[in-house]
Amino acid sequence: MKITSLTNSYIKELYALKDNNEKKLKKLFLTNDIDIINLAFEKGFLKQVLYYKKPLTLDIDQLEVNEAIIKKLSFNKSYGDYIGVCTYPKFTFENKRRYLYLDNVQDPGNVGTLIRTCLAFSYDGIILSPDSASIYNDKVIQASKGGIFYLPIYSDISLKEMKDKGYLIIGTGLRNSINLKEVKFDSKFCLVLGNEGQGMKKENIDLASIMVKIEMNNIESLNVAISGGILLYEFKDC
């Protein structure tokens, strides 16, 4: 069967997934990125593929549609021949060694990049504060390059809970902080990155066991994804 009507009830249901709240409710999202479609299939999170012209060589339910529907469901001006319908992974927290906590990091590109970076340096998971960019944001999904399928991501764990679980809380900022090269520890930890403009919230700074900074010349600060990448690399073997 081929669907060609933009007013088809099923196409309307899929189009509704452009809304973050709808994605969160249905635990589904759409992507027209072929790499993410293939990764979702590999990890078991691909539910269906909508295709224009010819189906993919994947053993998955595939539905033929016209170009107008692909264009309508795509999130980019440049679109291909496919839309993947993917399910969100669900992870149970594990008491492992290395975690990253994002405290009100609002730019979805930064959040997605940090997810990808945590995966690259073998961190055990990432925790998003309720006011950080949502995992249901399309730009987060895109910037993570499929990292959401591999790395446990949580949005229901507070920094206080992490401290209560015995994690060393490593805050970041310029005040009352030490050079990251001087940091020495041998315990499970949770590195915290703060908001792009204001940094960490005071209540989270108060929870920190130590505050660290990156020594720099000629400039006061770096983009949070850049500074996060430096810190994640420095602490990856701790």
13-46 as b/e: b if 16+ CB within 10 A: ebbebeebeebeebebbbbbbeebbebbbeeebb
- Could you give the CA distance from residue 60 to residue 49 in angstroms, rounded to a whole number? 7
Asked if residues 65 and 2 have their Cβ atoms less than 8 Å apart, the reply is: yes
pLDDT band at 222 (very low <50, low <70, confident <90, very high): confident
Q: Under a CB-based contact definition with an 8 Å cutoff, are residues 101 and 190 in contact?
A: yes
| Residue range 169-202, pLDDT digits in tens | 999 998 888 998 888 888 999 999 999 999 999 9
CA distance 139 to 131: 16
How many residues belong to the chain?
A: 238
Q: How many CB atoms lie within 10 A of CB 105?
A: 22
Q: How confident is the model at residue 152 (pLDDT cuts 50, 70, 90)?
A: very high
Question: By the 8 A CB rule, do 212 and 178 touch?
Answer: yes
DSSP state, 44?
A: T
Of residues 189, 193, 201, 197, the one with CA closest to residue 227: 193
Mean pLDDT of 203-227: 91
Residue appearing with tokens 């590195």: 191
Q: What confidence score (pLDDT) does residue 132 get? A: 97
d(CA 224, CA 228): 6
What's the pTM value of the predicted model, to 2 decimals? 0.91
SS3 193: strand
pLDDT at 78: 78
Token pair 């990253």 is found at 100
| pLDDT at 223 > cutoff 90 | yes
Domains of the chain: 2-87 (3.30.1330.30), 98-234 (3.40.1280.10)
Q: In sequence order, what are the residues at sequence separation of 6 or more whose Cβ sits closer than 8 angstroms to the Cβ of residue 115?
A: 126, 140, 143, 144, 147, 148, 151, 153
In the prediction, which pLDDT does 164 show?
97
pLDDT at residue number 128: 97
In this predicted structure, what is the pLDDT of residue 174? 83
Give tens-digit pLDDT for 56-81: 999 999 999 999 999 999 987 778 99
Contact 83, 30 (CB under 8 A): yes
For helices 108-120 and 224-234, give the axis angle rounded to 10 degrees: 20
How does pLDDT run across 83-98, given as a tens digit for each residue?
A: 999 999 989 999 999 9
The sign one gets for the Cα dihedral 8, 4, 25, 55 is positive
